[in-house]
Each structure stands twice: as C-alpha cells, then as structure tokens.
Amino acid sequence: MAVPRQSAPRQPATPAEPVVALRGAAVRVGGRTLWSGVDLTVGAGEFVAVLGPNGVGKSTLIKTLLGVQAADGEVRVLGRAPGRAGERVGYLPQRRSFDPSLRMRGIDVVGLGWDGNRWGVPLPWRPGRAAARRRIDEVIELVGATRYAHRPIGQCSGGEQQRLLIAQALVRRPDLLLLDEPLDSLDLPNQAAVAALIGRVCREAGVTVVMVAHDVNPILSRLDRVVYLAEGGAVVGSPSEVITSETLSRLYDTAVEVLHTSDGRLVVVGQPEAPARHTDRHPGRQGGAA
Amino acid sequence: MITLLQLADAATGWSWNPAEDLRQMWAFPFMVNAFRAGTIVAVTAGVMGWFMVLRRQSFAGHTLATVGFPGASGAVLVGVSATYGYFAFCVAAALVIAAVPRGGRDGGVQESALTGTIQAFLLACGFLFTALYKGLLGGTTSLLFGSFLGITTTQVWVLLAVAVVVLGALAAIGRPLLFASVDPDVAAARGVPVQLLSTAFLVLLGAAAAGTSQITGTLLVFALLVMPAATAQSLTARPGLGLALSAAVAVAVTWLGLTVAYFTPYPIGFWVTTFAFGCHVLARLGAFAAGRLQARSAAPLTAGGAA
C-alpha cells in the first residue's frame, strides 16, 4: 500500500475499498492464455505501471479493467464489476493519431468526454451547461492545452493531441485513470512533460493511475508499484523489487540483467523477446529497456 | 437583344422582375411540390451528410444511393411508386452493409471491395429493369440524374414523414454517434453501443440517400449529401454550427437549382450539383485565404512575443 494521499474532494474511495482488485485473474484470447494468476490490489491515489514484452497482454489488462474484455477469476473496479463504474473511470486508449483532416476542435473532443455518452440533443440553454463549460475549460487549462484547444484536433501535434485526450479522460473527475502507452510516439521532451502531467494529476487530485508503459524510465521516479507481466505469469511490487536481475531472470527463466545508469535510469539487458508469433503485432518495435 | 430572347421564350423566361418570376413559377402546383420536396430532402441530406463526411462513409453513402436505382426502376416495373422502391432498396442495402462482418484493421478495405462489387451488380440490375419496362418510363436519365417534374403531394408527405423519423432518430442518437465516430475506443469504454450506432446510422443514411435520389437522381446524391457537408466542414470545426451550415447550404443550392432549372432548358441535377460545387470551391478558397492571412498576421506576433 502506498503512502496515504490526499483524497479527491468528492466520493473518495474508502480506505477499505481498493480501487482495483484482481484475484487469480486470467485472460484467454482465442484459446490461448495470455496471463493468469494475477493478484493485484491498487489503493486510492496509487501510480501503477504495467510493464512487459510485446504481445504479453498489457493492453488486455486495461481492457479487462474496462470490462471490454472478459476475464476469469475475480476482478473488481471501484468495488464493482468492471465496466460498471462508468464515468468514474477515465480511459486513454493506445493511440494512432487523429486524421489530419478531422474537422473537430480539441475542446469538442474534450466535451465528448463530459457528456458524449448521453442521448438526446445538447440544448444550449439546458441547466448545467455553464458548469460543464467551466469544467471543460478548467481541465484544458490543467493539461496546458488552452492555446490550441480551439484548433481542429487533427492539426495538433502528437503531444498536443495526447494532452487533449488526457483532458478528455479527466474531465469527469474520475477516481481511476487507465492509460495505454500514453508516452508512445511522443518525442523525448513531450514524454517527460506528459509523464510529469500524469504524475501531478495522480498526486494532486488523488486519482489512481494504472498505466501501460513500454519504457519505465520516464515515470520511474513517480511510480508506487509495477506489474510485470510475462508469458503466463506476473510479478507485482515496487520498481526496486520487481525490476531486478533476480526477479526478471526468474520470471523469464533465463539470464536477465538490470543495469543502473549514473542518472538513475534502468536498462534491462538480455530481456528475451516475446515469441515471434506475437511480435508481428507491433512491427518495427522491439522490446527495449523495460 | 435580351428583349427579343425574352419574347421568344415568353412561357418560362426570366423577366428580371424576381417577385413576378417567383409568383409565376409557384403558380404551378408541380413547382410548389418540387420546392417542398427539395427543402425536406435538402435539410435531411445536409444533416446526415455532415455525419457521413465526418465518419468517412461517403462510399457507403454512394452505394446506398446507387442501390436506389434498381429499387426505383424495379418498383416502376411492377407498378408501384418509385418512392417506395427507393426507400425499400436503400434501407435494405444499409442493413446488408451493416451485417457484413468486418474483421480487424483490414476490414475497411474488404468492405469497400465487397460494397463496390454489389454496387456494380445492382446498377446493372436497374439497367435491366428499365430495359424490361418498355413503356414511357420517365427515362433512365431522370432516375440517374434527377428530375423535379411530377412530384406528387403524396410523395411530398412520404418524404416529410421519412425526414421527421430520420431527423428525430438522429437527434436522439446524435451525441453518442459523434462520440463513437470520433473516438470509438473511449466511447465503447464509456458504455456507448458503438456497433449498434453504426448500424443505426447506415439505416438512417439509406433513408436519407433514398430521399435525396428523388431530386438529384441516384448518381448525383453527393450534390446534397457530400458537397454541403464538406463545404460546412471546411468553414467550421464546430459541430453545431457545421450541422446548421451544411443544412443551410443544401437548402440554398436546392432552391437556386430548382429556380434556375425552371427558367432554363437544362436539368435540375446539373444545376444543383454545379451550385453545390461552386459553394465548395468558394469555401475552400476562403478557408485557404483565411489560413494564409492568419499565418501572416501570426508570424510577427510570435516574433514580438519572443523578443
């Protein structure tokens, strides 16, 4: 359990109720078990990274928590079955960028996060409209996207789009933020900035963050815990417990070495690639530093 | 010279007195019906087209409209009003396109190949039906390229009823549909039934395409279904304003097209399409010019800010 953090102003998750609870969870896709025996309890305000080689089912774990992917074992999100927590869960999918010709302003995309799932016509004079506007402006300000929120989102850079999408995920003040490789395809300064933003949201608003990452280094200093998925199993613990030569060697059943650079970054050497039949899902990307 | 021409063409000539000309044109019940039907169809097409362009489903829209041709000619062949043929075939085709399973990322390509195949076959069927019908079928040309003659009051009522249903349904599902169109993964995670909305949209699009076909013909539906929407989207990225603008452009080009077609010997399909095309070109040029102007005025501003 992480150090207690200041909880969100409204409906804070009670200390007794974990935000995410997995017990003996397993996922089978197309008759193949991706991972099994995953036990994980995430408390309010924790920052958890999901790591592992390509094709091991990191995104599937996020989809399980969203209730989009069925799982065996016990899965509870905010004390309910996955997919039942509605707007209390914010989601940022693994992203291709928006089509440059998409004629939708960033602010409208954020607005869809506010009430895009409601039926009926959004009348300009309906009650709550002013509050919605204020919240949308506030969250855009929070992610630092005010300058380009009125531009068509397709014309924004990758980093700008990612900030707007984080605003969309945050606009409903979720208790849990599920992020699927939010730093992927961003350049290094933007990686650092977006990682800092997510860390700040987690710390200041008490939002629990579960984030799939390819490279742990940009978020290493902010992490409370790491879930390391490998073929068939998983290890959960603090980064210093999990990302070690011993643990990873045991997990992969082969010699893996974790090196510490002088600036505190971790480099995993000799990490076995996922079996070839999975790597075709992410052409051009090889499992680098974990 | 003008006076001579006017005298020669006294029946429907443009008298340079707009009020008198409109009065004369609307004295004919068929022209009044044409304006009623055109307005109903234009509003529906403008609104539905905006979603279609946003969802990049123009090809599906074109296919649905094309399918209306065998529907209409088949209906005439068996002795039913072409209106019902249009609607029956277009909505059925929408359900078929929606039912075709598409797998994974390559689904889009597979879908377009299949859709294209069926589209060509049905177009050929329509041609066969018109050949089998040896009577005075208002002409293959008017089915394909549009006509405003002979729109009955019953037809206007049918179009109105369909438009009310289509726009009503769209008003109900519009916001989740927008969410699902822009951001399907997040929408699905928030409980929006993305697949169901996609099917519902195709059915509504089928109905809109069937209605539009009756004014512009099956091959020129894009004049009202794509051009006003694309024009609106090149002018504004605001959803509400874009929808209103799209409908307004569609109505404007329809009225203009009907009026000019009445006073000239050239067909309605040509005029509506030409005016819509003109609007689109103007909007593109305007957006381009505005972009250049903005870039020019923004450049010294940022330089000043940095200094």
- Residue in A with minimal Cα distance to B189: A66
- Residue in B with minimal Cα distance to A69: B189
Within-domain flag for A79: yes
Task: Return the structure tokens found at B80.
Answer: 């039913």
Question: What part of B 152-171 touches A (C-beta under 8 Å)?
Answer: 171
pLDDT, position B290: 87
User: Hey, of B51, B52, B185, which one would you mutate to test binding to chain A, going by the most A CBs within 10 A of its CB?
Assistant: B185
User: Hey, of A103, A105, A166, which one would you mutate to test binding to chain B, going by the most B CBs within 10 A of its CB?
Assistant: A103
Residues of B in contact with A99 (CB under 8 A): 56
- Residue in A with minimal Cα distance to B188: A68
pTM attached to this predicted model: 0.85
Q: What does the pLDDT profile of chain A (290 residues) look like in tens digits?
A: 344 444 344 444 455 578 999 998 888 888 888 888 889 999 999 999 998 888 888 999 999 999 888 889 899 999 888 888 888 999 999 876 788 888 899 999 999 999 999 998 877 787 888 899 999 999 999 999 999 999 999 999 888 999 999 999 999 999 999 999 998 878 888 888 889 999 998 998 889 999 998 888 888 888 999 998 887 678 888 888 888 888 878 777 777 788 888 877 787 776 555 444 443 444 444 444 44
d(CA A78, CA A178): 13
Confirm if A255 and A72 have CB atoms less than 8 A apart.
no
d(CA B296, CA B307): 18
Within-domain flag for A248: yes
Confirm if A19 and A176 have CB atoms less than 8 A apart.
yes
> What is the count of structural domains for chain A?
1
Confirm if A217 and A289 have CB atoms less than 8 A apart.
yes
pLDDT, position B32: 93
pLDDT, position B135: 62
Within-domain flag for A232: yes
Domain locations in chain B as residue ranges: 26-221
Within-domain flag for A58: yes
Residues of A in contact with B242 (CB under 8 A): 103
CB pairs under 8 A between A and B: 77
- Which residues, including other chains, have CB under 8 Å from residue A233's CB and lie 6 or more apart? A35, A36, A37, A251
Tokens 């076909």 sit on residue: B213
Range of the domain at A284: 18-85+180-189+214-290
B134: pLDDT strictly greater than 90 = no
Q: What is the mean pLDDT of chain B?
A: 85
Tell me, what's the ipTM? 0.83
Nearest to B182 by CA among A93, A206, A126, A36: A93
User: Inter-chain contact B190–A116, Cβ cutoff 8 Å?
Assistant: yes
pLDDT, position B110: 58
| Third-level CATH fold of B26-221 | ABC transporter involved in vitamin B12 uptake, BtuC (1.10.3470)
Amino acid sitting at position A136: I
Distance of CA B240 to the CA centre of its chain: 19
Predicted confidence band of residue B143 (pLDDT cuts 50, 70, 90) = confident
pLDDT, position A276: 43
Predicted confidence band of residue B18 (pLDDT cuts 50, 70, 90) = confident
Sign of CA dihedral B119, B121, B127, B130: negative
How many angstroms away from the CA of B301 is the closest CA of chain A?
14
CATH of the domain at A65: 3.40.50.300
pLDDT, position B165: 97
Residues B220-250 have pLDDT tens digits of 888 999 999 999 999 999 999 999 999 999 9
Return the ∠ at Cα B178 (arms to A191 and B50), rounded to 5°.
115
DSSP structure string for A42-110: E-TT-EEEEE-STTSSHHHHHHHHHTSS--EEEEEETTB-TT-SGGGEEEE---PPPPTT---BHHHHH
User: Inter-chain contact A66–B178, Cβ cutoff 8 Å?
Assistant: no
Give the residue ranges of DSSP H helices in A120-262: 129-142, 158-170, 188-205, 239-242, 245-252
User: Inter-chain contact B242–A103, Cβ cutoff 8 Å?
Assistant: yes
Pairing of strands A89-92, A176-180: parallel
Q: Is B117 exposed, middle or buried (0-12, 13-18, 19+ CB in 10 A)?
A: exposed
Pairing of strands A47-51, A208-212: parallel
d(CA A229, CA A38): 9
Lowest mean pLDDT among B16-20, B30-34, B228-232, B254-258: B16-20
- Which residues, including other chains, have CB under 8 Å from residue B99's CB and lie 6 or more apart? none
Residues of B in contact with A109 (CB under 8 A): 182-183
Nearest to B218 by CA among B62, B59, B9, B33: B62
d(CA A79, CA A74): 11
pLDDT, position B4: 38
Predicted confidence band of residue B98 (pLDDT cuts 50, 70, 90) = confident
User: Inter-chain contact B175–A102, Cβ cutoff 8 Å?
Assistant: no
pLDDT, position B299: 55
Within-domain flag for A253: yes
Within-domain flag for A43: yes
- Which residues, including other chains, have CB under 8 Å from residue B124's CB and lie 6 or more apart? none
How many angstroms away from the CA of A99 is the closest CA of chain B?
10
Average pLDDT over residues B208-217: 89
Residues of B in contact with A121 (CB under 8 A): 171, 174-175
Residues of B in contact with A122 (CB under 8 A): 175
For B188, the closest of A68, A152, A168 (CB atoms) is A68
Task: Return the structure tokens found at A169.
Answer: 């995920």
